[in-house]
A = this chain, B = another copy of it.
């Protein structure tokens, strides 16, 4: 029988979880990944360190979840790319939006922190691939298959290679700050990729 006077543990857990993920993101933005500690996240969230360690094995894992919570969660929601029937227009829309996100300091800060951690942490890299990169990759490939069926891409095009060629240059330019993240660059990547993989 539910007792209204006792706090609901599930709801309390959910509240703590959100507070921890919010604190992790705030601290990354304020002081950068290297200086964020589990202690600081716990203090900001108003929970004990043990609460964090009960749910997450490492700082990297909390940050990963704080990032997942920020974006549309591909584990939970169905995700799909626009499909107007025009693969060039649809990819340019998506790539321009991606470039704009990477150019936005508020949005990119936690992703940059995550990337920095992923590079030196193979376990986190595997989590990233399985929980974030792969669902997104699958959604993109579904759109590309529809373009193949419409005769806009070669029927034998290697879609994984196509996505590497399309996205990796933008990702690297962002990661190394080696050039501006513009709509022009996004469009150029779409144009050259479609040229390489057309029928």
Complex CA–CA separation, A171 to B165 (angstroms) = 11
A40 CB within 8 Å of chain B: no
Question: Are the CB atoms of A129 and B165 closer together than 8 Å?
Answer: no
Interface positions, chain A 151-184, Cβ under 8 Å from B, are: 158, 161, 164-165, 168-169, 171-173, 175-178
Interface of A is mostly: helix
The complex is assembled from copies of this chain, and their number is 2
Closest to A185 in B: B161
How far is the CB of A28 from the nearest CB of chain B, in Å? 10
- In the complex, which of the residues A129, A173, A188, A192 has the most CB atoms of chain B within 10 Å of its own CB atom? A192
Q: How many residues of A contact B (CB 8 A)?
A: 36
Interface positions, chain A 97-143, Cβ under 8 Å from B, are: 112-113, 115-116, 118-120, 122, 125-126, 128-129, 133
Question: Are the CB atoms of A165 and B192 closer together than 8 Å?
Answer: yes
Question: Are the CB atoms of B176 and A125 closer together than 8 Å?
Answer: yes
A32 CB within 8 Å of chain B: yes
20 contacts between A and B (CB under 8 A): A32-B120, A113-B120, A115-B119, A116-B116, A116-B119, A116-B120, A118-B176, A122-B177, A125-B178, A129-B176, A129-B178, A133-B176, A133-B178, A164-B173, A165-B169, A165-B189, A168-B169, A168-B173, A169-B169, A192-B197
Apart from A125-B176, A171-B172, A192-B197, what 16 extra A-B contacts exist at CB < 8 Å?
A32-B120, A115-B119, A122-B177, A125-B177, A125-B178, A126-B177, A129-B177, A133-B176, A158-B188, A161-B192, A165-B165, A165-B192, A165-B196, A192-B196, A193-B196, A195-B196
